[in-house]
């Protein structure tokens, strides 16, 4: 794909050598010329503009100030030691402060000399200062590489700076590299795509991303490189999907038999929504094509995904196959087991559960029953992937995932059968569109986008610490109506001790406000033994206690239709999707439910936006988009470790349109030329061949 020159090891680039090469490899993962070339600047500085001291204000980004050093002193001892210099022009003076590299500053920054100081101005004690400014002597030497209009800025690290590879050092290497290799850069995209979307050529784009002529050239370069990045991700995902559909046959679920019909007509206690019926139909069509199904079902909290999964599993049973459903945690697995067992009510199919805590005796029996085909539906955690677990004939796997189940893990399930089982992936909360197209781009997506009939939307309110008495009053009113209340506290590893103190204090206050014998309180937190947890939860489920105080969500993963109030303490510390998931724990019955978000008076801008979003909407799809916008894609459920999203330039929030264009283009290409055999697609064919050689076929899933 690249000219051989770009595969050259980085140490042979002039000015690098073995030591710097080792640092670039360790710190930035750059091993070759080609990798350095795609290490892009993260911003650009307009170096034509100088500010006077009197023009500075704290909202300015990075600025350049020209002035003379009129004073320099060392202040403080040991780790508080710093050097403060004064830079003066005709309108005033600012302070330049260094906390590190003091020896260098001491030796190189001279009083009385004129410098260009560059950095971000901040106000400290009423006057402006710049911490760790970049300094250049004035006038600038003629040899400065690159243009002096938009200057690239590269991310560097403390260790690299010791080897003179700060942003400037990296810029020098890029300038050398581009000079040397520019003629060798080959085009990677077919000409007809470049024409259709008016994209810049690769050579021009790489030159202008590092050293843009002007802002228009920079925009064209960014658009081209973002498109290319997203395009090849889609090409990889969709070609592996296509390959899978050609190579692997799927079980045929040709009949809708006794079990599905009996369950649907006689056992199911409620009517399915239109969306549920539509998704079940999509699954039925998928399982009659003779191709392995890989489908993602996403729906909002409480939209009835479990019933859809159960009916799909019964469909497998009707056709003589077993099914299993996997959950990420034991508590969720138990919850699935209970809800499936109670829906089936001992009829239609034999259901069992296997988790990390199952005893040896239980396991042995279970393994026998699985191999003989007695068990129709198995619920479990990751323990299901263990090699010991053998099915008689596994036809469908439902994966309920909080985190993305690794490709490897899905492949392991496959090896349980010669023909791979159909795979249905369910997500706990909706995934933003762009993420569904990238991280789950190799799956077909179904949406359950309506809530069951008779559900009243949950009313959400945000109260500050000062309004706590109102909250207690509200709890008492609801409990008097015979309802139950959840109170959830955050508990995070980093601040565990402090969080437990808050919890203790909260419980103390609860006991004072809700004294025995009139009120009973259940307490559940991660530090308790499992037996005690189960006991406390059971008391709450049976209605013996009115208030359940708990840390974090999943431990409260039980359906209690009578619980109608969810109070979230320190709500500003939870992420949006977490808040939304917690809120979904109430509103399971026919009564009006409430969610109260308690927070401190001081909120960050993002914290405020999260709480406002919760009050404004109950729609999980909207919430997921705002969550993506606030957090950026890196944080979202395990996208990093899945390795699909190693994006250098594209941004899933801002570049949705480019992503859509790229995906549509790939879909069109495969529609017209499934094997990429046309001459104009030769470049793409080379890419997919290279990729599939790198992946063992049994790992593709």
Residues 387-445: tens digit of each pLDDT: 678 888 889 999 887 555 555 566 566 555 568 889 898 887 788 888 788 777 888 88
Q: Is a pLDDT exceeding 50 seen at residue 637?
A: no
Q: Is a pLDDT exceeding 70 seen at residue 567?
A: yes
When the candidates are 3.40.50.300, 3.30.2290.10, 3.40.640.10, 3.40.50.720, the CATH number that belongs to 459-617 is: 3.40.50.300
Q: What CATH number does the domain located at 49-147 have?
A: 2.40.50.140
Nearest Cα to 295, choosing from 412, 415, 447, 417? 447
Q: How many CA atoms lie within 13 A of 550 on its CB side?
A: 23
Q: Is a pLDDT exceeding 80 seen at residue 314?
A: yes
**Alpha carbon separation from 120 to 43, 475, 552, 641 (Å, rounded):** 14, 49, 40, 34
pLDDT of residue 335: 81
Interior/surface letters 220-256, b for 16+ CB within 10 angstroms, e for the rest: bbbbbbbbbbbbbbbbbbbbbbbebbeebebbebeeb
Q: Is a pLDDT exceeding 70 seen at residue 241?
A: yes
pLDDT of residue 302: 78
Confidence of residue 638 (pLDDT cuts 50, 70, 90): very low
Neighbours of 661 (CB within 10 A): 17
Report the chain's mean pLDDT, rounded to a whole number: 85
How far is 646 from 237, CA to CA, in rounded Å? 14
DSSP structural state of residue 656: H
Confidence of residue 146 (pLDDT cuts 50, 70, 90): very low
pLDDT of residue 102: 83
Q: Is a pLDDT exceeding 80 seen at residue 677?
A: yes
Section 138-157 average pLDDT: 72
Strand partners, 397: 324, 423
Per mean pLDDT, which of 133-147, 569-583, 600-614 is the most reliable? 600-614
pLDDT of residue 647: 81
Q: Is a pLDDT exceeding 70 seen at residue 636?
A: no
Neighbours of 94 (CB within 10 A): 22
Rg (CA), the chain: 31
Confidence of residue 640 (pLDDT cuts 50, 70, 90): very low
**Alpha carbon separation from 158 to 27, 99, 101, 388 (Å, rounded):** 10, 13, 10, 49
How far is 437 from 234, CA to CA, in rounded Å? 8
Q: Are 318 and 256 within 8 A, CB to CB?
A: yes
In this structure, the strands spanning 82-89 and 92-98 are antiparallel
**Alpha carbon separation from 503 to 395, 468, 490 (Å, rounded):** 46, 15, 9
Confidence of residue 33 (pLDDT cuts 50, 70, 90): very high
Section 666-689 average pLDDT: 92
100, burial (CB in 10 Å: exposed 0-12, middle 13-18, buried 19+): middle
Handedness of CA 403, 406, 412, 414 (dihedral sign): positive
With tokens 């299901």, the residue in question is 384
Q: Is a pLDDT exceeding 90 seen at residue 147?
A: no
How does pLDDT run across 42-83, given as a tens digit for each residue? 988 877 778 898 888 877 777 889 999 999 888 888 788 888
Neighbours of 276 (CB within 10 A): 21
How does pLDDT run across 149-171, given as a tens digit for each residue? 788 989 998 889 889 898 889 99
pLDDT of residue 141: 66
Neighbours of 600 (CB within 10 A): 13
Region of 476 on the Ramachandran plot (φ > 0 left; ψ -120 to 50 alpha; else beta): alpha
Confidence of residue 105 (pLDDT cuts 50, 70, 90): confident
298, burial (CB in 10 Å: exposed 0-12, middle 13-18, buried 19+): buried
pLDDT above 70: percentage of residues in the chain:
90
Nearest Cα to 206, choosing from 230, 234, 186? 186
In the chain the first and final C-alpha atoms are separated, in Å, by: 25
Report the side by side order of strands in the sheet with 547-551.
Answer: 459-464, 594-599, 563-568, 484-489, 547-551, 521-524
Neighbours of 358 (CB within 10 A): 18
User: What's the residue count for the chain?
Assistant: 701
pLDDT of residue 697: 37
- Give me the helix-helix angle, 682-694 and 215-247, nearest 10°: 60
pLDDT of residue 411: 58
φ, ψ dihedrals at 262, nearest 5°? -60, -45
Section 233-256 average pLDDT: 87
Residue 460's SS3 state is strand
How does pLDDT run across 257-306, given as a tens digit for each residue? 999 999 999 998 888 999 999 999 999 999 998 888 989 898 887 788 88
Neighbours of 27 (CB within 10 A): 16
CATH level 3 topology of 258-448: Rossmann fold (3.40.50)
Cα–Cα–Cα angle for 313, 410, 675, rounded to 5 degrees: 100
Q: Is a pLDDT exceeding 90 seen at residue 558?
A: no
Residue 288's SS3 state is coil
Section 632-655 average pLDDT: 64
Report the side by side order of strands in the sheet with 322-326.
Answer: 351-354, 377-380, 322-326, 394-401, 422-427, 294-299, 444-448
How does pLDDT run across 462-471, given as a tens digit for each residue? 999 999 999 9
DSSP codes joined into one string, 461-500: EEEEGGGHHHHHHHHHHHHHTT-EEEEEE---GGGHHHHH
How far is 688 from 98, CA to CA, in rounded Å? 51
How does pLDDT run across 330-358, given as a tens digit for each residue? 777 888 898 899 889 888 899 999 887 78
Section 688-701 average pLDDT: 56
Q: Are 452 and 270 within 8 A, CB to CB?
A: yes
Q: Is a pLDDT exceeding 90 seen at residue 243?
A: no
Q: What pTM did the predictor assign?
A: 0.74
pLDDT of residue 138: 78
Cα–Cα–Cα angle for 497, 500, 506, rounded to 5 degrees: 145
Q: State yes or no: cis peptide before 517, omega within 30 of 0.
A: yes
């Amino acid at each position: 794909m690249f000219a051989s020159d770009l595969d050259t090891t980085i140490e042979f680039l002039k000015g690098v050598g073995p030591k710097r090469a080792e640092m670039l490899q360790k710190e930035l993962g750059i091993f070759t010329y080609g990798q350095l070339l795609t290490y892009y600047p993260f911003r650009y500085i307009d170096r034509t503009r100088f500010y006077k001291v009197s023009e500075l204000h704290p909202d300015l980004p990075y600025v350049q100030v020209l002035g003379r050093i009129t004073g320099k002193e060392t202040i403080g001892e040991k780790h508080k030691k710093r050097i403060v210099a004064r830079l003066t022009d005709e309108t005033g003076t600012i302070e330049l402060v260094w906390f590190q590299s003091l020896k260098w500053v001491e030796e190189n920054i001279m009083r009385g000399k004129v410098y260009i100081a560059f950095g971000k101005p901040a106000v400290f004690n009423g006057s402006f200062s710049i911490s760790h400014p970049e300094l250049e002597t004035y006038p600038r030497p003629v040899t400065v590489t690159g243009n002096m209009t938009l200057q690239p800025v590269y991310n560097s690290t403390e260790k690299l700076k010791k080897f003179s590879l700060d942003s400037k050092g990296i810029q020098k290497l890029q300038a050398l590299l581009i000079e040397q290799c520019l003629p060798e850069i080959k085009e990677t995209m077919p000409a007809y795509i470049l024409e259709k979307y008016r994209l810049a050529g690769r050579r021009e784009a790489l030159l202008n991303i590092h050293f843009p002529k002007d802002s228009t050239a920079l925009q064209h370069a960014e658009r081209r490189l973002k498109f290319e990045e997203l395009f090849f991700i889609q090409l990889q995902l969709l070609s592996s999907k296509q390959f899978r559909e050609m190579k692997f046959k799927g079980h045929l679920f040709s009949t809708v038999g006794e079990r599905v019909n009996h369950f649907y007509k006689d056992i199911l206690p409620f009517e399915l929504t239109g969306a549920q019926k539509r998704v079940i139909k999509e699954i039925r069509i998928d399982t009659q094509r003779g191709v392995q199904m890989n489908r993602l079902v996403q729906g909002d909290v409480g939209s009835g995904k479990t019933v859809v999964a159960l009916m799909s599993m019964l469909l497998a049973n009707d056709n003589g196959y077993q099914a299993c459903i996997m959950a990420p945690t034991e508590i969720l697995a138990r919850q699935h087991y209970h809800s499936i067992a109670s829906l089936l009510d001992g009829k239609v199919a034999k259901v069992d559960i296997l988790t990390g805590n199952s005893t040896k005796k239980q396991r042995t029996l279970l393994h026998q029953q699985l191999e003989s085909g007695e068990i129709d539906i198995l619920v479990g955690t990751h323990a299901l992937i263990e090699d010991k677990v053998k099915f008689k004939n596994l036809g469908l796997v439902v994966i309920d995932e909080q985190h993305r189940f690794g490709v490897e893990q899905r492949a392991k399930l496959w090896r349980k059968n010669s023909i791979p089982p159909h795979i249905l992936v369910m997500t706990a909360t909706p995934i933003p569109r762009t993420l569904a197209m990238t991280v789950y781009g190799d799956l077909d997506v179904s949406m359950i986008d309506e809530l069951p009939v008779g559900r009243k939307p949950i009313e959400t309110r945000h109260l500050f610490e000062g309004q706590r008495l109102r909250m207690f009053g509200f709890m008492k009113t609801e409990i008097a109506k015979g309802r139950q209340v959840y109170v959830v506290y955050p508990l995070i590893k980093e601040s565990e001790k402090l969080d437990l103190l808050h919890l203790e204090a909260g419980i103390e206050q609860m006991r004072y406000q809700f004294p025995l014998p009139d009120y009973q309180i259940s307490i559940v937190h991660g530090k308790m033994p499992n037996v005690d947890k189960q006991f406390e939860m059971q008391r709450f489920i049976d209605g013996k206690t009115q208030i359940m105080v708990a840390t974090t969500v999943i431990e409260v993963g039980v359906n209690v239709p009578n619980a109608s109030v969810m109070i979230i303490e320190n709500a500003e510390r939870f992420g949006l999707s977490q808040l939304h998931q917690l809120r979904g724990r109430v509103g399971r019955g026919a009564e009006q439910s409430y969610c109260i978000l308690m927070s401190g008076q001081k909120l960050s801008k993002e914290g405020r936006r999260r709480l406002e979003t919760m009050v404004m909407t109950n729609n999980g799809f909207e919430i997921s988009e705002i969550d993506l916008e606030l957090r950026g894609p890196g944080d979202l459920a395990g996208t990093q470790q899945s390795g699909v999203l190693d994006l250098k330039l594209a941004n899933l929030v801002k570049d949705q349109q480019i992503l859509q264009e790229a995906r549509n283009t790939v879909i069109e290409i495969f529609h017209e030329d499934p094997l990429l055999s046309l001459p104009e697609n030769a470049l793409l064919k080379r890419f997919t061949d290279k990729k599939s050689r790198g992946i063992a076929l049994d790992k593709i899933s």
